Amino acid sequence: MNEKDIIVCRCSDISLYDLKKLMEQGYTSFVELKQIARIGMGPCQGRTCSLLVLKELAKFLDVPFETLTPPTVRPTMSALKLKMIAKGKNNEEQR
Amino acid sequence: MKNNAKVVIIGGGISGVAIAYNLAKMGETDVIVLEKDHLASGATGRCGAGIRQQWGTKMNCLMAKKSIEFFETAKEELDYDGDLQFKQKGYLLVSSTKEEDKEFEQNVILQNKIGIPARKITKKEALKIVPHLNPDAFYGAAFCPTDGHLNPFTTTDAFYKAAKRMGITFYTQTEVLDIKTKNKKITEVITTNGSIKTETVVNAAGGHSYNIGQMVGLDLPVYSENHEILVTEAVEQMQGPMVISFSQNFYCQQTPHGSFIMGRGEPDKKPGLNVESTHLFLDRMSKTITKILPKIGELRLVRQWGGLYNISPDHQPIYGPVKEVKGFYLAIGFSGHGFMFAPVTGMIIAEMILKKPFSIDISGLTIDRFEKGNITIEGNVV
């Protein structure tokens, strides 16, 4: 399959081809890829893409997967509307 | 690792890369930039991404104007192939009271004198610029159409790449452990990856600048404080300018990418180096924004984070040499505005080191101003 058609980050529309090009340019940690290409900055917050990206990074750098640093997990756990936080309502009530 | 250099810059944030770029541009490429993590990992990469010229002190106005002029041609000057996400849709300052509105009037007079195209406007005019502002939540406003937004990550990357092409050396994941001096002169920088002989060191360590000062025995008049930010999901463009209020303690801008980024300062924060995210911030920020810009309250939060303001006594940067140690230069104390002043920081520090005439007169920004007691405090800070 064409690497341009394999999506590794769906929030920011980054393909495997894009990812490999970025790594070749020297962005070789998750956080650097995040800053330059918004990988992991979208609504999924890295929940979908981080494993895929870290696996590709491990392959590219030829290091064990577990030696790589995953992205920082930041609050909140779910995407609440700001007005609901302001009013102190919970996630069920805003649906 | 290279073991000697004319100049060693400590800090790979926007200030460090801008200083390195300017040194190279002026012909000095025997320069090493040291960064303990990755580039823009500190305050730069955590900042609010705004660029503004509406300040209350003359020095801040001068630096901001010069910086915006640079940003207007930055993509070409730095020959950058990425996207700087530069946007000039203005900053709308909203006042809460008649008194604050009067201060805006005074500031606009100062800004206009320097050539900044800000203007004092009425509530009605402000509502034309940002129609979803709650008319009951503010008194009047000031507006400068050439203020705006710039992506801190790609801007740092652009300076870095340009500097690297010209021959500057960068070592990331390299922490400075100590700075050696002899007879009050810099001799060597000790890092986690080896040592570098040098006579000139620039302290551009942002939130960590006090600790770097301690390495040469200085008690620098700065401290760091965590300021928090949140970002929402991306939506269609609906708000041109940054909306900001000093009295209501917030700023909120839509990025070119579509997300809304907003922050506020907590008055009772303790100084320190932690950059944690708190529920208190989230709660207060949501309440403020829902009141002033109710439509933004409909958007979903994507994440929140913290970053360090490195605060000086007058909320203006501290530039230049110190009398105690020869060869030690400061680019510190930006008080939350190091990103937007970086073009000037780069020019001035490079000119100081290479003994060239200054692009702007920064005599009011050297550290001796605090000894003289001759300071003007910048009040326009969130």
B116 residue type, one letter:
I
d(CA B239, CA B259): 10
Same fold, B7-46+153-222+314-372 and B87-148+226-306: no
User: In A, residues 11-50, which contact B (CB 8 Å cutoff)?
Assistant: 29, 31-32, 35-36, 38, 41-43, 45
Residues of A within 8 A of B84 (CB-CB) are none
**So what's the pLDDT on residue B203?**
98
**So what's the pLDDT on residue B54?**
98
d(CA B262, CA B248): 13
Q: Which helix (H) or strand (E) holds B372?
A: helix B368-372
Q: Do B302 and A31 touch (CB under 8 A)?
A: no
Specify the long-range contacts of residues B250-255, CB closer than 8 Å, at least 24 apart. B250/B285, B250/B288, B250/B289, B250/B292, B250/B382, B251/B48, B251/B50, B251/B382, B252/B289, B252/B293, B252/B296, B253/B48, B253/B49, B253/B50, B253/B149, B255/B49, B255/B85, B255/B87, B255/B149, B255/B151
pLDDT tens, residue by residue, B56-88: 999 999 999 999 999 999 999 999 999 999 999
Q: Do A75 and B294 touch (CB under 8 A)?
A: no
Domain range list for chain A: 3-87
> With 70 as the cut, is the pLDDT of residue B149 above it?
yes
> With 70 as the cut, is the pLDDT of residue A94 above it?
no
The percent of residues in chain B predicted with pLDDT above 90, rounded, is 95
| Mean pLDDT value across residues B224-236 | 97
Instruction: Name the band, by pLDDT with cuts 50, 70 and 90, for residue B373.
Output: confident
Residues of B within 8 A of A85 (CB-CB) are 282-283, 286, 301
Q: Which of B289, B302, B304 sits opposite A43 (nearest CB)?
A: B302
Instruction: Name the band, by pLDDT with cuts 50, 70 and 90, for residue B16.
Output: very high
Instruction: Name the band, by pLDDT with cuts 50, 70 and 90, for residue B358.
Output: very high
| Mean pLDDT value across residues B37-41 | 97
Instruction: Name the band, by pLDDT with cuts 50, 70 and 90, for residue A93.
Output: low
Instruction: Name the band, by pLDDT with cuts 50, 70 and 90, for residue A78.
Output: confident
Domain range list for chain B: 7-46+153-222+314-372, 87-148+226-306
Which CATH class name applies to B87-148+226-306?
Answer: alpha beta
Complex prediction ipTM? 0.91
Question: What number does CATH give the domain B7-46+153-222+314-372?
Answer: 3.50.50.60
**So what's the pLDDT on residue B155?**
98
The residue among A94 and B105 whose pLDDT is bigger is B105
Q: Which of A43, A76, A83 sits opposite B290 (nearest CB)?
A: A83
Average per-residue pLDDT for chain B? 97
Kindly report the nearest CA distance between residue B294 and chain A, in angstroms: 8
Instruction: Name the band, by pLDDT with cuts 50, 70 and 90, for residue A92.
Output: low
Residues of A within 8 A of B234 (CB-CB) are 42
Architecture label for domain A3-87: Orthogonal Bundle (1.10)
d(CA B109, CA B116): 10
Mutate to test the interface with B, among A29, A33, A41, A85 (most CBs of B within 10 A): A85
Residues paired with residue B186 on neighbouring β-strands, in sequence order: B181
Do B353 and B200 meet the contact criterion of CB atoms below 8 Å apart? Answer: yes
d(CA A67, CA A93): 41
**So what's the pLDDT on residue B267?**
84
**So what's the pLDDT on residue B374?**
77
Kindly report the nearest CA distance between residue A5 and chain B, in angstroms: 22
Q: Which of B233, B296, B304 sits opposite A75 (nearest CB)?
A: B304
> With 70 as the cut, is the pLDDT of residue A76 above it?
yes
**So what's the pLDDT on residue A85?**
94
Residues paired with residue B169 on neighbouring β-strands, in sequence order: B32
